Structure 1
Amino acid sequence: MSFEPLASDFYGYENLLDDQEKQHIAVLRSYLETEVKPIVNDHWNRAEFPHQIVKGLADVRVIGLPWEETRPFENSAVFRGWVALELARVDAGVATYVGVQNGLAMGAVGLTGSAEQRAEWLPRLASGEIVGAFGLTEPLSGSDSAQGLRTTARRDGDNWVINGSKRWIGNATFSDMTVIWAKSEEDGQVKGFIVPTATEGYSATKIEGKFSLRSVQNADITLENVVVPESLRLQNANTFTDTAKVLRETRAEVAWAAVGVAIGAYEAALEYAGQRIQFGKPISSHQLVQDLLVKCIGNITASIGMVARVSQMLDDGIQRDEHSALAKAYATARMRETVAWSREILGGNGIVLDYDVARFFADAEALYSYEGTREMNTLIVGRAITGHSAFV
């Protein structure tokens, strides 16, 4: 299958990928166009996840890319970011599913699990045999998770007893395991636990009424005296600093996904503008529409440059929290502008699902907030460049 460059990659950043990575992107792009794109609007409208694509995503090998136990070939962080872009370019909900499965659930096991835990859980997650979720955010704790976590874990011999609640947990209505982060009653430090969702005392309830990422099955989780053995405690997750290692990597991929959402909206608007006739000619020939389209491609191009460099820094082992924080804050802000301009180009047709832009417009709001709000990421960068912490 031949690789065709994206016209929306205006400066040709895809050339950072090697030939094998490009071929993998071509296979993924074909699958998304033929199997995923035709069904996403219907599932979004019904607020249902398209479970039929889980096996296909595993078959095109987009799950488990970073880990020695599961990666199909040696690959770069830029490639893994581009995968997130391609997923989000078609549907942010599908990108979020993969981000939770691949980045958060597998990331927690891959970065903070023991060798035995990695060997047991990573292949099962990568194959799609089981679905994972990541339980950090709580009803009363979001941005202050480092200090304000209320879910507790109490050591009881060879077991741990977990009590608390989580909110906004993606994939959680149908996950087979959820990584739960809880504060140890012994030392007050945050620990991570692999919790099979069939465990007694664990329950997940779908959050209804969302207008963004409607196909993503977010849940409220309740944990009432949930007992897990010490063997399911992530052996290298001993403080919130270890939790942050996972978030550092996934935050950069959320920035890539934000670029994908911007591209998806821009491409839909560009196609529409070429077909919509007003005053006797396509609206793409009007100056004001071209102005909006150029501002969109400018945002996209600048954002790709930033996220690509952040991923290169990850490969080089020099990426720090403030680097991924700036990329996430910047790319999601530019995404928000781009989807708004794209919706503007469509006029009234921009608020119906028929032309895709409305879905991208709505879904952008969730990406703008999750994995660290713009404000919190700004403070992370602000602390790095001034030497002063402005966190309360």
Structure 2
Amino acid sequence: MTFEPLASDFYAYENQLTDVEKESIAELRAWLEADVAPVVNDYWERAEFPMQVIEPLARLGVLSHGWEETRRFENSAVFRGFVALELARVDAGVATFVGVQNGLATGSIAVCGSAEQRAEWIPKLASGEIIGAFGLTEPLSGSDSAQGLRTIATRDGDDWILNGEKRWIGNATFSDITIIWAKDADDGQVMGFIVPTSTPGYSATKIERKISLRTVQNADITLTDVRVPESHRLQNANSFKDTAKVLRLTRAEVAWAAVGTSIGAYEAAVRYATDRVQFGKPIASHQLVQDLLVKCLGNITASIGMVVRVSEMLDRGEQRDEHSALAKAYATSRMRETVAWSREALGGNGIVLDFDAARFFADAEALYSYEGTREMNTLIVGRSVTGKAAFV
């Protein structure tokens, strides 16, 4: 399949991809534009997830990128970033599903699981045979998860008993397993558990009335004396530092998804401005509209440069927490500006789903907040540059 660079990748960063990676991007893009773009507004309006996308995502190898046991072919972090960009360029909800399935759920097992756990669970997640979720955030614990978790794990012979609550857990209304992070009742250290959602005492309730990422099925989870065997405890998750290893890897891909969301809104604005005629000519020929579009493109271009570099650092083993934190904080901030300017270019039509910009505008708000708010990521970077922690 022929690869065509995106016009919105103004400095052609995609040219850094290998020929094989470009072919994979072209295949993914063709499927997204043919099968996802035409239906996603309807699913967004109904607040339903298009379940039919899971099998093609698995077939295209998207659910197995990055993990050795299931790698479709050798690929770089830069390539995985462009995959996240392509997904979010069409729908941030599908990008979020993949981020949870492949990044957070599979990633937790890949980073913190034993060899036996990786061999058992990762192939099933990569094939889409099972769906995963990631349970860290709680009703009363979000940004302070490192110290503030209230979910407790109590050892009982060869089992663990989990009690607590989780909130905002993506995929959780239809997941087969959820990675639950809980504090050890004995020493207070954070541990991770692979919890089948059919386990007695586990319940998930969909969060309703959202204005952002409506296709993502977020849930409140209640854990009441949920018993899991020691074999389901992530064997290499012994403190929140291990949890943070997973978040560092996925945070950069959220930054990539923010760039994709920006591009989706910008491309919708360009299409509209080219077609919409006012005062006898397309509004794209008006100076003020061109100013909006160029500001959008500047934000996108600067953000692509940042996320490409942070992924290159990951490939070289040089990326640290503050690097991915800066990328997430910056790219999501520029995204917020870009989707607003793009929506503005559509005038009144910018607030209806028909022209796509409204959906990107609304979905951007969730990306701006999840996987670390701008403020928390700023403090991670601030600690790095000053040597002083200012979290409390």
Same fold (TM over 0.5): yes
Residue 91 of structure 1: CA displacement? 0.2
Aligned: 1:328 with 2:317: no
Counterpart AA for 2:106 = M
Rounded to whole Å, the distance in 2 between the matches of 1:150 and 1:73 is 41
Counterpart AA for 2:158 = D
Rounded to whole Å, the distance in 2 between the matches of 1:384 and 1:326 is 11
- Aligned position for 1:123: 123
SS class of match (1:69): helix
Residue 310 of structure 1: CA displacement? 0.3
Rounded to whole Å, the distance in 2 between the matches of 1:73 and 1:53 is 21
- Aligned position for 1:111: 111
Residue 68 of structure 1: CA displacement? 1.0
User: Tell me, which stretches of 5 or more residues in structure 2 are unaligned?
Assistant: none
SS class of match (1:178): strand
- Aligned position for 1:274: 274
- Aligned position for 1:29: 29
Residues 300-345 of structure 1 show CA distances to partners (whole Å, capped at 9, x for unaligned) of 0000000000000000101000000000000000000000000000
Rounded to whole Å, the distance in 1 between the matches of 2:143 and 2:346 is 35
- Aligned position for 2:291: 291
Counterpart AA for 2:163 = N
Rounded to whole Å, the distance in 1 between the matches of 2:80 and 2:19 is 14
- Aligned position for 2:378: 378
- Aligned position for 2:307: 307
Rounded to whole Å, the distance in 2 between the matches of 1:87 and 1:372 is 21
Rounded to whole Å, the distance in 2 between the matches of 1:322 and 1:357 is 31
Displaced runs of 4+ in structure 1, greater than 3 A?
A: none
Residues 51-85 of structure 1 show CA distances to partners (whole Å, capped at 9, x for unaligned) of 01110111111011111111100000000000000
- Aligned position for 1:53: 53
Aligned: 1:248 with 2:248: yes
- Aligned position for 1:94: 94
SS class of match (1:212): coil
Residue 15 of structure 1: CA displacement? 1.0
Counterpart AA for 1:224 = T
- Aligned position for 1:139: 139
* Alignment root-mean-square deviation, CA: 0.4
Matches within 5 A, 1:352-371: 352-371=352-371
Counterpart AA for 2:287 = Q
Residue 181 of structure 1: CA displacement? 0.1
Counterpart AA for 2:45 = N
SS class of match (1:53): helix
Rounded to whole Å, the distance in 1 between the matches of 2:239 and 2:10 is 42
Matches within 5 A, 1:91-240: 91-240=91-240
- Aligned position for 1:339: 339
Residue 358 of structure 1: CA displacement? 0.2
Rounded to whole Å, the distance in 1 between the matches of 2:107 and 2:202 is 22
Rounded to whole Å, the distance in 1 between the matches of 2:185 and 2:222 is 18
Counterpart AA for 2:317 = G
Identity %: 78
Residue 187 of structure 1: CA displacement? 1.4
Counterpart AA for 1:44 = W
Aligned: 1:72 with 2:72: yes
Rounded to whole Å, the distance in 2 between the matches of 1:38 and 1:285 is 28
SS class of match (2:38): helix
SS class of match (1:154): strand
